[in-house]
Chain A
Amino acid sequence: MTEPVVLVEGLTRKFGDFIAVDHVSFEVYPGEVVGYLGPNGSGKTTTIRMLLGLLEPSDGKASVLGYDAFSQSEEVRARSGYMSQKFALYDDLTVWENLSFYGGVYGITERARITETLELVGLKGHDRELTRNLSAGWRQRLALAIALVHRPRLLFLDEPTSGVDPAARRVFWDLIYELAGQGVTVFVTTHYMDEAEYCERVGIMRAGKLLAIDTPEALKAGTIPGAVWEVYASPLQMALDNCADCKGILRVGLSGDHLRLITEQGLNARQVERKLKDIGLTVQAVQKGEPTLEDVFLSLARG
């Protein structure tokens, strides 16, 4: 089997009494796009900071591109790109000036490389624009260009799409896939449950612990015990109270004006409707739903 690009074993970081990252272990293989999904404060950024050698682990170890992440962090950083959550761009410089400034930090001075990188992220022709005039989506591409200018084999993206609109987010993901197609390994964090669907494998983080890591499909198959239904029924409160004790209904939750049920496998819509009528509900509609990574998260979190 190929050597992992990132190999993490029992990685732990404490801040005083607080355990930000709690014995996390996983591997990332070449060319993979791996997501790290979790709410704010679940340990995503702290993990990345340890992988880049910016923070010393309290326990465990991480190797990145074959180097020890902490003791050989310079080797790691020379070969990996990092786009941080709050990336710093110089607003009063042009796109070109920003990229050539950061390129210089990595010792990259060739104009051709700057041009190529701008082309890669779709900023060709915008090199003379002032950074302050860029939309959120374009700024984000410039930040990606900065992370890519030294042609890293591994890219760490910390919540790269926070705050950009869904259309810009899709364009961004197209870029990520293009990079992955060229053999770049991508490790990306997000707190958007739906965004994690873009990743080949997703790690679910909560309170410093890695609850699971697998493909979105396998996570859904492995943690959601049955079929998902979107049910329009009333009264809602009674539905919530009674469904919980109803045989065959494994979970019930509210989703706006309707219910989201997880039932045992093998029931059809009519059978689900019958169950709900039997507990005294008026049923308007029962539709098959799609399991989501939020369902996975809730399943894992509630144990």
Chain B
Amino acid sequence: MEVLVNDSILIQATNLEKHFGEVRAVDGIELHVKAGEIYGLVGSDGAGKTTTMRLLVGAFRPDAGQVSVCGYDMSHQVEDGRAQLGYLSQRFSLYEDLTVLENIRFFAEARGLSAREWYPRCMEILAFVGLDAFKDRLSGQLSGGMKQKLGLASALVSRPRVLLLDEPTTGVDPVTRQDFWQLLIQLINTTGQQNGGVAVILSTPYMDEAARCSRVGFMRAGQIIAEGTPAQLRDTLADRIVELRGQPVGLLRRIAAQDADVEDVQAFGDRLHLRIREGRTAVAVRHLQKRVPAAGGELTAVRPIQTTLEDVFIALLENKETDSEGMQSMNGVP
């Protein structure tokens, strides 16, 4: 694989495994993340996202496989590797009785910044996340969004090349989430030219958030079952999702489910979303337009809608049950 020798890959995992007793929490993961990428590990609880993150930072020893960070092998060059990493864990804790500046100074010194370096660097990073005006406020008195920014600042204070963020936005206010993403994208863009760029790996349970990443890996049961840019993943179901509206919904649903070209019917309140077999969308829509009125129902709207990553994920999971071959071919989309 030529990607292995590409020097812009900042973090790489090969055939990574971690077992807890019988459970294969991480079961053969391959990751190659380049400078300038925001890579999203997307999956539900228990899919293995956090275990993967902990293997990547060297907090867990893998049972098989290896991790390298900026060329350092995490099994025997862990200190050198960690010096290149910034990590924000899911349960990030800050010292509530210290001020913003004291908190970040703590992290700066823990990461080995000298007395001369830490102050300008802390002020620079606080300005970047927009907390410079609050440097003397006690951390316990920050809003949730500010705390989260302080967490990000702490992970960034040592100028890491690789930033690992474990579910940074779960349950977070969308306004804060939006600001957080703007900071990440700025980080990626502004460090692009200097010192070779930064790579970000972020885990999330939110499908809509995955769409914001430059590349996404869907995780399930310790494996990455599909990988690609959001556009590549969506293209696998292009023009195959159709929204229906009409009366009565039960009748519409029955007719749609009976159609051989309809693979999946999902209700969303009074709307139905159909997934249609490849190349059959026009045919299926014509059938519905005929069959619904014939059965005494009314079809008020039929329109193709944008495929979401959730649609893709669900189609993958269903395929996995019937055809594991098809899944494999999704893997390794460049």
Taking the nearest CB of chain B, how far is it from the CB of A204, in angstroms?
10
Indicate if A255 sits at the interface (CB-CB under 8 A): yes
Q: Point out the residues of chain A lying under 8 angstroms from B175, CB to CB.
A: 297-298, 301-302
Q: Point out the residues of chain B lying under 8 angstroms from A42, CB to CB.
A: 173
Contact A216 B269 (CB under 8 A): yes
User: What is the number of residues of chain A that contact chain B, defined by CB distance less than 8 Å?
Assistant: 46
Q: Point out the residues of chain A lying under 8 angstroms from B269, CB to CB.
A: 33, 197-200, 215-216
Main secondary structure of the interface of A (DSSP, over half): mixed
Contact indicator per residue, chain A 168-197, by CB within 8 Å of chain B (1) or not (0):
101001100100010000000001111001
Q: Bound state CA distance, A253 and B128, in angstroms?
A: 18
Contact B305 A197 (CB under 8 A): no
A256 and B38 contact, Cβ closer than 8 Å, known pairs A294-B208, A298-B174: yes
Q: Point out the residues of chain B lying under 8 angstroms from A39, CB to CB.
A: 171-174, 176
Stretch at the interface among A87-95, A101-109, A159-167: A159-167
Contact indicator per residue, chain B 287-310, by CB within 8 Å of chain A (1) or not (0):
000000000000000000110101
Q: Bound state CA distance, A298 and B182, in angstroms?
A: 14
Q: Point out the residues of chain B lying under 8 angstroms from A33, CB to CB.
A: 269
Q: Point out the residues of chain A lying under 8 angstroms from B72, CB to CB.
A: none
Taking the nearest CB of chain A, how far is it from the CB of B233, in angstroms?
12
Indicate if B270 sits at the interface (CB-CB under 8 A): yes
Taking the nearest CB of chain A, how far is it from the CB of B274, in angstroms?
13
**Which of B46, B270, B306 sits near A136, CB closer than 8 Å?**
B46
Contact indicator per residue, chain B 37-54, by CB within 8 Å of chain A (1) or not (0):
010000111110000000
Taking the nearest CB of chain B, how far is it from the CB of A214, in angstroms?
12
Contact indicator per residue, chain A 289-303, by CB within 8 Å of chain B (1) or not (0):
110101001100110
Indicate if B317 sits at the interface (CB-CB under 8 A): yes
A177 and B267 contact, Cβ closer than 8 Å, known pairs A237-B189, A294-B208: yes
Contact B174 A166 (CB under 8 A): no
Taking the nearest CB of chain A, how far is it from the CB of B322, in angstroms?
13
A237 and B308 contact, Cβ closer than 8 Å, known pairs A163-B45, A255-B211, A256-B230: no
Extra 13 A-B pairs, beta carbons < 8 Å, given A237-B186, A255-B212: A40-B172, A136-B45, A163-B205, A165-B47, A166-B44, A166-B317, A167-B317, A167-B318, A173-B266, A200-B270, A240-B182, A256-B230, A257-B214
Leading 5 A-B pairs by shortest Cβ distance? A163-B45, A256-B212, A40-B171, A165-B44, A39-B173
A-side interface residues toward B, CB under 8 Å?
Answer: 33, 39-42, 136, 162-168, 170, 173-174, 177, 181, 191-194, 197-200, 206, 215-216, 235-237, 240, 253-257, 289-290, 292, 294, 297-298, 301-302
